[in-house]
Amino acid sequence: MKTEFDLQDIKMFASTTVEMLKPLLKANGKVDDKIIFNQDELAKYLKVSRSWIDQKISHKEIPHFKCGKYPRFKKSEIDKWINKNTIMPIPPLKIAKNGR
């Protein structure tokens, strides 16, 4: 038995799946987009010093926004920044052997 779906059915399945997964994607009752760190919270999250955060802010090397004079950080943007700056290991080279 072969079942075929048209594009509208596939979109409906995808939409339903997303709605079903939303509760599972929440962190402590909050969606990541709504989690905002201050400098100390971000330093703890990244396991770095507060001065390292200050340096990244001053060089505009980390995504942030200002709330008055205070820098704030969206967790979702920080996670994207982490992924963008992740260095992947280089797989080992395979040495081709001649048929000698």
- Do the domain assignments include residue 1? no
List Cα–Cα distances, 91 to 7, 82, 98, 99, in angstroms: 39, 21, 22, 24
Residues 8 and 5: their CA atoms lie apart, in Å, by 8
CATH code where residue 67 lies = 1.10.10
Q: Does the pLDDT of residue 64 top 80, yes or no?
A: yes
Least confident window among 19-23, 50-54, 89-93 = 19-23
What is the percentage of the chain residues whose pLDDT exceeds 90? 51
Q: Quick one: average pLDDT of 73-94?
A: 90
pLDDT digits (tens, 9 = 90+) for 34-51: 899 999 999 999 999 999
- Do the domain assignments include residue 54? yes
**Highest mean pLDDT: which of 18-22, 26-30, 77-81, 95-99?**
77-81
pTM of this prediction?
Answer: 0.59
List Cα–Cα distances, 51 to 39, 65, 74, 96, in angstroms: 9, 18, 19, 49
- Do the domain assignments include residue 23? no
Looking at the DSSP bridge assignments, the partners of residue 44 are: none
